[in-house]
Amino acid sequence: MTATATNGADAAVDVIIVGSGAAGGMAAYTLTRAGVRCLILEAGRDYDPQAEVNMFAPESDAPLRGTGTSDKPFGYFDATVDGGWQVEGEPYTMTEGSDFRWWRPRMLGGRTNHWGRHVPRFGAYDFKPFSRDGLGVDWPIGYDDVAPFYDRVERMIGVNGGPIGLENHPDSPAGCLMPPPKPRVPELLIAAAAESLGIPVRAAHTAVLTRDMPDKVAPRSACFNATPCTRGCTIGAMFQTTTSLLPMAKATGKLRVVTDAMVSRVVMGARGRAAGVEYVDRKTGQRHTVTARAVVLAAGTGETTRLLLNSGEAGRGLANSSGELGRNLTDSTGASFRAFIPGLAGRPRYNEDGIGGQHIYIPFWLYEQQKRGELDFARGYHFEIGGRFGIPSDAVLPRVWGKDLKQAVRNASGATINLTLRGEMIPNKDTFCEIDPTVKDRFGIPVLRFAFRWSRHEVNQVAHGRRAAHSVFRRLNGTILDPDLPPEKIMTAGGEIIHELGTARMGADPRSSVVDGYGRTWDVDNVVLMDGATFASGPHKNPTLTILALALRASERLATRLSSGALA
Amino acid sequence: MTFSRRTTLQWLATATALSLAHRGAAATIAEPKAFGAPPPFKVVDWPAGVAPMAPAAGYGRDPDLTAPKVPWPLTLTKAQRATVDMLGDMILPADAASPGAGTLGVGAFIDEWISAPYAQQQADRATILAGLAWIDAQARVLHGGDFATGTPAQRAALLDALTVEAPGADMVRPVAFMDRLRNLFVLGFYSLPEGKADMGYIGDQPTEGPYPGPSSDARAHLSALLTTLKLPAGKV
């Protein structure tokens, strides 16, 4: 393997951005518009949704009717290509007794090509969790610091939704949100039952356009209420960086993108600053070094952390004087509950596709009870609401054959409803990632080893969620389909919700945090982290909106520093 | 989890009472047959293990999504496929709403499924191939020929035995085979246009403008259901 320096004068860049997902896309968009020359290094392959997404094919066109396999875990037509729970030749390991899943798309646009699109804002409590319950740490910033960036990001990426008006669920100012879609029948039914039990239901905030979003470079159309969002969206209704921020950044002429570029380490230069990064061309195996005035790490929580741990001082890593790098890893809790509702059997048919995912959801509603000490867990959870027409699951079909089976399918289609829990995990000392001392990937880069454990808070939270969900189902005379197992057995594995966060957390004190409130590492002032690694806690509210808002905020700060000559 | 026959038949009854008028002829539910009796015959042994499939490649992590292809070779012999097709036409038979699953070619999907080099499919392959061998062996003991050569009544009696609610020890594996085959036929059949039409599925149609929401029929049905449940409408 030979090392070559690739940037000559014609390719001079101010900032290297590692990763092209939510954080990297936002960094590229913001910095190039400020006149900063950027180079994105993306580990995955080039990807063009216009050419590659098969939006309209029925599942019956796909092998196995589109059913997920180890090659395509979320189904044949799912947008994620060339990666997933496993990446060929790029393993990760786990400590004994840990079960951790690490979702790694290897494609331009990263995880934004396939994501949940549920974009609630964090609230004031979420930024100051330690002050509220004495667990974990506070963020060095508060809701008021982030709110203006939430406003701008919602308008920038296109979010539909409505007012929430509940404690710790901030509303968006007028003009930020597009109108939400009307709820479907199963959603309205759940809403009626939930509200009768004191459980609130609100329009979800979803990163899908319900109005056109004109743009000279990357015009995006309102959702046409069909096709699964997770396949990707050629009309741009669903936010993904490959149909929005990346083409817009490229149009400035200030952005160069190199794909198949697996960054292996940050290369240090003079005065304690980073000189650039070294990357491996995943196709040829050749190593390259590129230099710039600043380095933005937006590779995703795990890869950003791995990259820092593999840089700097052997055995300690770069930007790790606090010793916190790799620690404080969290994922969201996950559990799914479902019931067959006899009253929905054989219900009148209509087009229930809507904007893809849920139209309404159940936000966490028990902050007051929690404050009074009435709950046996800290922090919150929410329910995402499901239930549509389609092929009924095995669980609701009787063991019959012949015309009775056909009739049973007709009756059961659309009669199962779901409540899917997503909850906050509190960092614990047994959950972290570190460099595996012996295993390397096919490029010779040491791999991550994960340790993972849920605490009683998460287990009790899921048990509470199950009781709440079942109370809603019972109010609807539902037949609960969930197995009767202890909560530990119904929780998703660590990483499975793909919300891993926290391994290079931000803080006010360099002794207990890796980066400051703008993502700048305390130890190396021209290395800025912009992905979920910087989160000081992992609220139950899905993280992507906050990743985008913090990346926008950090990128503007970096642009100011660059133009002021601070990083000359 | 699989629900008892009693529970699921109650669901059918409830569903009929509530609303199916809009679905016309397909809405009527026949009196259920008396399934569930233990087999009135001596059960033959479950066949010895099925030989593992020759190694085959899957479609990989980065297939061309605009031109889907099944890259692996198929498994079933002509005779096995004929039996599967026959079972398909029994499990999901032709009626006024849609053709039989065997006639519609869902047997090809079953073959594709059990031939795929993934863990779940390989587990199903062992179940289905053993089950096809078992059903022929049982038919030979009962009426001197393979399953496909039996009379309709003889074949129906076997399917009845394979759908009992609580199988005896010797029928556990044969019934599990039929459970799996039935569920695969449901997936394979109802994902086709004919199956979707049978379910009355409406969707996959781009609709410009705001999502229109439930139809007036659907809203009226919900309203009646909320009244039955003594629930006020939600505020959302």
Q: Which of B59, B213, B229 sits opposite A63 (nearest CB)?
A: B59
**Domains (range + CATH), chain A:** 164-203+333-423+455-490 (3.30.410)
Q: What local confidence, expressed as pLDDT, does residue B40 receive?
A: 83
Q: Which of A192, A222, A345 sits opposite B15 (nearest CB)?
A: A345
Which residues lie across from A118 on neighbouring strands? A206
Q: What is the pLDDT of residues A380-394, one digit of tens each?
A: 999 999 999 999 999
Task: Quote the pTM value.
Answer: 0.94
Which residues lie across from A381 on neighbouring strands? A423
**Cα angle A348, B196, B21; round to 5:** 30
- Low-confidence stretches of chain A (pLDDT < 70) are 1-11
CA A517 to chain centre: 20
Query: For residues A407 and A522, is the Cβ–Cβ distance under 8 A?
Result: no
Which residues lie across from A419 on neighbouring strands? A337, A385
Element (H, E) at A267: strand A261-268
Q: What local confidence, expressed as pLDDT, does residue B23 receive?
A: 37
**Interface pTM, i.e. ipTM:** 0.95
Handedness of CA A226, A232, A233, A238 (dihedral sign): positive
Do the Cβ atoms of A70 and B58 come within 8 Å?
yes
Q: What local confidence, expressed as pLDDT, does residue B32 receive?
A: 41
Query: For residues A527 and A297, is the Cβ–Cβ distance under 8 A?
Result: yes
Q: How close A355 comes to chain B (CA, Å)?
A: 8
Query: For residues B196 and B97, is the Cβ–Cβ distance under 8 A?
Result: no
Do the Cβ atoms of A479 and B7 come within 8 Å?
yes
Do the Cβ atoms of A402 and B33 come within 8 Å?
yes
Task: Work out the burial of residue A511: count CB atoms within 10 Å of its CB; fewer than 13 is exposed, 13-18 middle, 19 or more buried.
Answer: exposed
Which pair of structure tokens corresponds to residue B182? 């039935």
**Alpha-carbon gap, residue A345 to B16, rounded angstroms:** 8
Q: What local confidence, expressed as pLDDT, does residue B39 receive?
A: 83
DSSP state of A72: S
Following DSSP, what letter does each residue of A23-60 receive, concatenated?
HHHHHHHHHHHTT--EEEE-SSB---HHHH---S--GG
Q: What is the pLDDT of residues A197-244, one digit of tens each?
A: 999 999 999 999 999 999 999 999 999 999 999 999 999 999 999 999
Q: What local confidence, expressed as pLDDT, does residue B11 receive?
A: 45
Chain B residues with CB under 8 Å of A282 CB are none
**Alpha-carbon gap, residue A32 to A40, rounded angstroms:** 11
Chain B residue with Cα closest to A395? B2
**Alpha-carbon gap, residue A348 to A185, rounded angstroms:** 10
Q: How close B229 comes to chain A (CA, Å)?
A: 7
Full strand arrangement of the beta sheet holding A93-94: A93-94, A446-451, A432-440
Q: Angle, nearest 10°, between helix axes B78-91 and B172-190? A: 80
Q: How close A114 comes to chain B (CA, Å)?
A: 15
Per-residue pLDDT of chain B (236 residues; tens, 9 = 90+): 444 555 544 544 444 333 333 333 333 333 344 444 568 899 999 998 888 899 999 999 999 999 999 999 999 999 999 999 999 999 999 999 999 999 999 999 999 999 999 999 999 999 999 999 999 999 999 999 999 999 999 999 999 999 999 999 999 999 999 999 999 999 999 999 999 999 999 999 999 999 999 999 999 999 999 999 999 998 88
φ and ψ at residue A528, rounded to 5 degrees: -120, 130
Chain A residue with Cα closest to B68? A62
Residue by residue, what is the 3-state secondary structure of A440-497?
Answer: ECCCCCEEEEEECCCCHHHHHHHHHHHHHHHHHHHHCCCEECCCCCCHHHHCCCECCC
Chain A residues with CB under 8 Å of B118 CB are 69-71
**Alpha-carbon gap, residue B190 to B187, rounded angstroms:** 6
Chain B residue with Cα closest to A107? B62
Amino acid at A112: T
Contacts of B223 (CB under 8 A, 6+ apart): B233
Do the Cβ atoms of A63 and B218 come within 8 Å?
no
Q: What local confidence, expressed as pLDDT, does residue B27 receive?
A: 31
Compute the count of residue pairs across chains A and B with CB atoms less than 8 Å apart. 311
Which pair of structure tokens corresponds to residue A292? 């710039």
Query: For residues A419 and A480, is the Cβ–Cβ distance under 8 A?
Result: no
Do the Cβ atoms of B5 and A400 come within 8 Å?
yes
Q: How close A416 comes to chain B (CA, Å)?
A: 12
Contacts of A174 (CB under 8 A, 6+ apart): none
Contacts of A329 (CB under 8 A, 6+ apart): A301, A427, A431, A432, A433, A450, A452, A500, A501, A502, A503
